[in-house]
Homo-oligomer: A and B are copies of this chain.
Amino acid sequence: MDVATSPDAVLFVVNNVWMLIAAFMVFLMHLGFAALEAGSTRAKNTVNILFKNMAILSIGLLTYAALGFNLMYPGEAASGGVVAWGGLGLDPGADGLTAAYAEGHYTYWTDFLFQAMFAATAATIVSGAVAERVRLSAFLIFSTIYVAVVYPIIGYWHWGGGWLAELGFHDFAGSTIVHGVGGWAALVAAWWIGPRIGAFEGEGFRGHSAPLAAIGGLLLWFGWYGFNAGSVLSADPAAISHVAVTTTLAAASGVLVAAMGSWGLTGRPDLSAAINGGLAGLVGVTAGADVLGPNAAVLVGLVAGGLLLGATMFLQRIRLDDPVGAVPVHLVCGIWGTLAVGMFTEVSLVAQLVGVGAVALACLAASAALIGTLHVTLGMRVSAEEEEGGLDAHEHGAEAYGIPLSRDHETASAPAHPAAAK
């Protein structure tokens, strides 16, 4: 340690350790997203989904280092306005502890890493909505631009000191700034490229691996503690523990409503609903995890769980195919959570509405421009033959699984119940 050992110096050390660990936890959300998306879709597209998520994560981290961080946090000089720019690449000053940072709560490097992990999530949210039919190359181009330019500019509006910050908009950890930004693009993309062939025939499609989806859902919940409690941007004891509790209560409430609701409505306790209900509660509480009390957090989670069920049914009715429920989870509950802050706290509901609306307009415009351009040039969608044959076989020349038929299956004698073979 070069830092002289004063209580302030030690506090800096603690804050920095905490923020780094929170960043690592947000990193793990990417494994959560990949597992949830893969588990919620058909086996024939699994390699494609995993590859896509590895690539987005890596591209997101590198572009954020080159461009995004400087668009989103252009520095002290910038305030107000719509766009600002802090210069290319990472520049920590002489020792990574420039004056501004040394007086703050963590180093320049930690600041970058925590924010970079966030940036990569915005693009990942879109991935699930277009799964199983999007063209890999076109999607990667879209997400590279979206994460490198669109997300950081909108992030600047609120967290970088831009015009939404000046307006009094409150979005603690990003119900709108992260999940809404991803969610609007998911909506545009899913609408534009259209449903999977057969998605609305018969019972539709189911995910190919319930355990993989559950692993994804619970890793996301785990990582969300870093996402939300890390967004305190220091290790302030009351603040981070309060946020961890509101986050927990909203997630549990979302699970409960969606799990029991699906059971009550259809007679079938639905695992996907339980998983997505938890995520709905998490997205919902993200905007106000710092200012909502425990009872309000439960309420936000309960409503989010209900919205999840309603929005999922509504998308089904209007035939918008969203294989993982990205729009209900991230967009609908992101809006709900942002507005809830205006309803249950002293934050102005008008400011919340303006923020939600402005982000909506910007993201709709940017997504439509990007996706429209890619649609008429490269093509956003694979051919019907590729889709039916599976992206793994056609785009990757691979199969996700090589698991042999169960021995027990071969000797099973209960043909009436295929699911019961073993």
| Contact of B248 with A116 in the complex, beta carbons under 8 Å | yes
Bound complex: CA of A221 vs CA of B57, how far in Å? 12
The smallest C-beta distance from A120 to any residue of chain B, in angstroms, reads 9
| Contact of B400 with A110 in the complex, beta carbons under 8 Å | no
| Contact of B109 with A245 in the complex, beta carbons under 8 Å | yes
| Contact of B240 with A20 in the complex, beta carbons under 8 Å | yes
Does A274 have its Cβ within 8 Å of any Cβ on chain B? yes
| Contact of B402 with A206 in the complex, beta carbons under 8 Å | yes
Determine which of B61, B89, B409 lies in contact with A405 in the assembled complex, contact meaning CB atoms within 8 Å. B409
Most chain B C-beta atoms within 10 Å of own C-beta, residue among A17, A245, A267, A404:
A404
Determine which of B11, B234, B255, B406 lies in contact with A54 in the assembled complex, contact meaning CB atoms within 8 Å. B255
Q: Which of A42-50, A78-86, A323-331, A338-346 contacts B (4 or more CB under 8 A)?
A: A42-50
| Contact of A252 with B62 in the complex, beta carbons under 8 Å | yes
| Contact of B403 with A58 in the complex, beta carbons under 8 Å | no
Does A242 have its Cβ within 8 Å of any Cβ on chain B? yes
| Contact of B209 with A400 in the complex, beta carbons under 8 Å | yes
The smallest C-beta distance from A422 to any residue of chain B, in angstroms, reads 5
The smallest C-beta distance from A263 to any residue of chain B, in angstroms, reads 9
For A90, the chain B residues whose CB sits under 8 A away are: 245, 294
For A50, the chain B residues whose CB sits under 8 A away are: 210-211, 214, 271
Count A interface residues, CB 8 Å.
137
The smallest C-beta distance from A332 to any residue of chain B, in angstroms, reads 20
| Contact of B11 with A1 in the complex, beta carbons under 8 Å | yes
Does A38 have its Cβ within 8 Å of any Cβ on chain B? yes
For A209, the chain B residues whose CB sits under 8 A away are: 211, 400-403
| Contact of B210 with A212 in the complex, beta carbons under 8 Å | no
For chain A residues 302-320, which have a beta carbon within 8 Å of chain B?
Answer: none
Does A103 have its Cβ within 8 Å of any Cβ on chain B? no
Determine which of B47, B240, B390 lies in contact with A210 in the assembled complex, contact meaning CB atoms within 8 Å. B47
Does A9 have its Cβ within 8 Å of any Cβ on chain B? yes
For A418, the chain B residues whose CB sits under 8 A away are: 404-405, 407, 410
One complex includes copies of this chain to the number of 3
| Contact of B241 with A20 in the complex, beta carbons under 8 Å | yes
| Contact of A406 with B401 in the complex, beta carbons under 8 Å | yes
> Knowing A55-B274, A61-B252, A420-B389 touch, does A5 contact B7 (C-beta < 8 A)?
yes
Q: Which of A24-32, A152-160, A167-175, A360-368 contacts B (4 or more CB under 8 A)?
A: A24-32
Bound complex: CA of A278 vs CA of B222, how far in Å? 23
Binary contact readout A378-409 vs B (1 if CB under 8 angstroms, 0 otherwise): 00000000001110110111111111111111
Bound complex: CA of A97 vs CA of B239, how far in Å? 10
For chain A residues 133-190, which have a beta carbon within 8 Å of chain B?
Answer: 136
Does A67 have its Cβ within 8 Å of any Cβ on chain B? no
Does A12 have its Cβ within 8 Å of any Cβ on chain B? yes
For A269, the chain B residues whose CB sits under 8 A away are: 51, 55, 136, 395-396
The smallest C-beta distance from A127 to any residue of chain B, in angstroms, reads 14
For A369, the chain B residues whose CB sits under 8 A away are: none
| Contact of B242 with A34 in the complex, beta carbons under 8 Å | no
Determine which of B17, B58, B112, B225 lies in contact with A245 in the assembled complex, contact meaning CB atoms within 8 Å. B112
Known contacts A43-B404, A62-B298; can you find 6 more A-B pairs with CB under 8 A?
A: A6-B7, A13-B14, A107-B242, A211-B400, A389-B417, A390-B419
List 18 A–B pairs whose Cβ atoms lie within 8 Å, in order of A's numbering: A3-B237, A6-B7, A20-B240, A23-B244, A24-B225, A31-B214, A43-B404, A50-B214, A58-B256, A65-B249, A92-B242, A96-B242, A113-B245, A136-B269, A267-B397, A271-B398, A388-B414, A389-B419
